[in-house]
């Protein structure tokens, strides 16, 4: 497997001969405000600027045992034009990272005298805000009182794509507070509705949705005093200390955090 290069798209293996690929970071959304007779004001403050997904190009060469083999590979790549799928980045040691992307265009020039080779250029529009590493499904059992757990985002940037699922067991949960007390990423959200025994509350922090037993219940979720980030809940790179406080539900109720390691 090629090291640190795009290796597959939407399940199709990409050519690895004579590769030259754009592996830089996303662009940054700068919030600069023009001021009269003064330098622009940076409204972003101390926050890391939001990533702007961009277009990347991957140059490579199709090589086959015969002209027919080259044509087959070429036709397979052409069929992916316009498709939205998963772009996979191969890493040293055999690991991978993935990201949603759309294959915007494929260009190629045909030169005589090389029937078993074909240079091509793939143009991808990256989507989302980061590359995704390992997926995590960390479950916390909500015993007596305030329960804490260390949740690790092993990536190198903040993960905002976090889904929280709270499931009530022996009785209804009638009050719920979830906090991330990690310095620089303080969040305190509360849910004031009721989660019936055997049912779940799902908070999708990326899509800004709240569902109680499958029904939208956005109005019962709010930020508490001291909440210091734009998101409902996010995970800093490294270890995050998560606290959950609930009323009701019994000592076997659970709070599950689903996320991925996030990489620039």
| HSE-CB for 25 with a 13 A CA cutoff | 10
Q: How far apart are CA 7 and CA 1, in angstroms?
A: 8
Q: What residues contact 254, with CB distance under 8 A and at least 6 apart?
A: 139, 140, 141, 142, 165, 166, 167, 169
Question: CA 200, CA 242: separation in Å to the nearest integer?
Answer: 19
The Cα–Cα gap between 209 and 26 comes to 26
Measured CA to CA in angstroms, residue 18 lies from 10, 119, 187 at distances of: 21, 9, 47
pLDDT per residue over 34-71, tens digit each?
999 899 999 988 888 989 999 999 999 999 999 999 99
Q: Cα angle at 236 between 232 and 242, to 5 degrees?
A: 65
171 vs 169: CA distance, rounded Å: 6
The pLDDT tens digits for 223-235 are 999 999 999 999 9
Q: How far is CA 131 from CA 23, 42, 52, 112, 181, in A?
A: 11, 27, 13, 39, 25
By DSSP bridging, strand 55-63 and strand 17-21 are: antiparallel
CB 187 within 8 A of CB 173: no
Give me the architecture of the 132-263 domain, per CATH.
Sandwich (2.60)
- C-alpha to C-alpha distance for 155 and 261, rounded to whole angstroms: 5
Tell me how long the chain is.
264
User: Which of 136, 203, 142, 147 has its CA nearest to residue 173?
Assistant: 142
Splitting the chain (264 residues) into consecutive groups of 10 residues, what average pLDDT does each group show? 83 94 93 92 88 95 93 95 98 93 95 85 96 98 93 98 97 97 97 98 98 97 97 98 96 97 97
42 conformational bin, left if phi > 0, alpha if psi -120 to 50, beta if neither: beta
Considering the entire predicted model, what is its pTM? 0.88
**How many CB atoms sit inside 10 A of residue 103's CB?**
23
Q: Which CATH architecture has domain 5-129?
A: Beta Barrel (2.40)
138 closest CA partner among 153, 157, 128:
153
What is the reported pLDDT for 163?
99
Q: How many Cα atoms sit within 13 Å of 99 on the Cβ side?
A: 26
Beta carbons within 8 Å of 111's beta carbon, 6+ residues apart: none
- Enumerate the domain spans of the chain: 5-129, 132-263
- φ, ψ dihedrals at 96, nearest 5°: -140, 160
């Amino acid at each position: 497997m090629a090291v640190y290069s795009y290796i597959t798209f939407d399940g199709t293996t990409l050519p690895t001969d004579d590769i030259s690929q754009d592996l830089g970071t996303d662009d940054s959304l700068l919030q600069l405000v023009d001021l009269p007779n003064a330098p622009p004001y940076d409204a972003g403050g101390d926050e890391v600027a939001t990533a702007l997904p961009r277009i990347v190009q991957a140059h490579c060469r199709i090589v086959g045992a015969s002209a027919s083999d080259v044509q087959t590979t070429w036709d397979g790549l052409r069929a992916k034009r316009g498709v939205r799928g998963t772009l996979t980045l191969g890493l040293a040691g055999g690991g991978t990272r993935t990201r949603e992307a759309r294959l915007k265009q494929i260009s190629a020039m045909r030169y005589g005298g090389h029937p078993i080779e074909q240079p091509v250029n793939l143009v991808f529009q990256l989507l989302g805000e980061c590359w995704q590493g390992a997926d995590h499904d960390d479950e916390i059992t909500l015993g007596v009182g305030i329960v804490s757990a260390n949740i690790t985002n092993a990536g190198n940037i903040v993960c905002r794509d976090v889904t929280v699922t709270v499931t009530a067991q022996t009785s209804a949960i009638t009050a719920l507070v979830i906090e991330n007390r990690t310095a620089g990423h303080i969040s305190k959200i509360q849910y004031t509705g009721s989660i019936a025994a055997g049912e779940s509350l799902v908070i999708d922090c990326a899509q800004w949705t709240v569902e109680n037993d499958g029904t939208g219940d956005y109005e019962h979720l709010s930020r508490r005093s001291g909440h210091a980030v734009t998101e409902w809940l996010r995970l800093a790179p490294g270890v995050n200390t998560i606290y959950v406080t609930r009323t009701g539900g019994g000592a076997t109720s659970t709070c599950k955090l689903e996320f991925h390691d996030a990489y620039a």
